[in-house]
C-alpha cells in the first residue's frame, strides 16, 4: 500500500476512535498525541525505521521492543521526550507534562504483553 492511501484510511479511523479514550491531558488521548507528535518518525505502531533529513538520516529504534521496554524507565521516557536525545527533537516546549505522561503510557501499550 502506498503511504498516501495509508494516511487516507488511518486518519478518519483515528478521528472516530480518539474521543472514546480521553485521559487527563487536556482532552487528548496519549494515542492521538503520539499520532500527531511522534508517528511521522516512529511509525503508528512505534516500529520506527523511518529516517529523514530532519534526523540526519538516523533511524530510531523499535519502541515496541519488549526487551527495551523492560529496561527503560518511565522517567527516562519522559526525559527523552521533554529534552530530546541526539537527533530526536525535544518536546518540552510544545507538550505539557500531562501530555508527555499520556504519551509515555501510550508507549507502554505498544509493547506486546509478556506471556
Ligand atoms: C523528527 C523525527 C522524530 C520525532 C517527531 C520523534 N522522534 Fe523520537 N527519535 C527519533 C530519532 C531519530 C531517535 C534516535 C535518536 C538517536 O539515537 O540519535 C529517537 C529516539 C527516541 C527515543 C529513545 C529510544 C532509544 O534509542 O533509547 C524515544 C523514547 C522516542 N524517540 C520517543 C518519541 C516520542 C514519544 C515522540 C513524540 C512525542 C518522538 N519520539 C518524536 C526521531 C523522532
Residue whose CA is at the smallest distance from ligand 1 atom 42 = 88
Closest CA relative to residue 34, chosen from 112, 114, 108, 113: 108
Is residue 68 predicted with pLDDT exceeding 70?
Answer: yes
Average pLDDT over residues 26-49: 91
Per-residue pLDDT reduced to its tens digit, 7-24: 554 544 444 444 444 445
Average pLDDT over residues 41-68: 89
pLDDT at site 98? 96
Per-residue pLDDT reduced to its tens digit, 75-99: 999 999 999 999 999 999 999 999 9
Q: Are 102 and 23 within 8 A, CB to CB?
A: yes
User: Pocket around ligand 1: residues whose beta carbon is below 6 Å from it?
Assistant: 37-38, 40-42, 54-55, 58, 60-61, 63, 77, 80-81, 85-89, 91, 103, 107
Q: Which three cell numbers stand for residue 65?
A: 521492543
The percent of residues above 70 in pLDDT, for the chain, comes to 76
- Report d(CA 55, CA 27) in Å as an integer: 30
Amino acid at each position: 500500500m502506498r503511504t498516501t492511501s495509508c494516511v487516507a484510511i488511518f486518519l478518519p479511523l483515528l478521528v472516530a476512535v480518539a474521543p472514546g479514550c480521553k485521559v487527563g491531558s487536556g482532552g487528548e488521548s496519549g494515542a492521538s498525541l503520539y499520532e500527531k507528535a511522534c508517528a511521522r518518525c516512529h511509525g503508528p505502531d512505534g516500529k520506527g525505521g523511518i529516517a529523514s533529513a530532519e534526523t540526519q538520516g538516523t533511524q530510531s529504534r523499535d519502541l515496541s521492543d519488549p526487551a527495551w521496554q523492560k529496561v527503560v524507565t518511565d522517567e527516562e521516557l519522559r526525559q527523552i521526550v521533554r529534552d530530546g536525545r541526539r537527533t530526536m527533537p525535544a518536546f518540552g516546549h510544545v507538550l505539557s507534562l500531562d501530555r508527555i505522561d499520556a504519551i509515555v503510557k501510550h508507549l507502554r501499550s505498544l509493547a506486546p504483553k509478556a506471556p
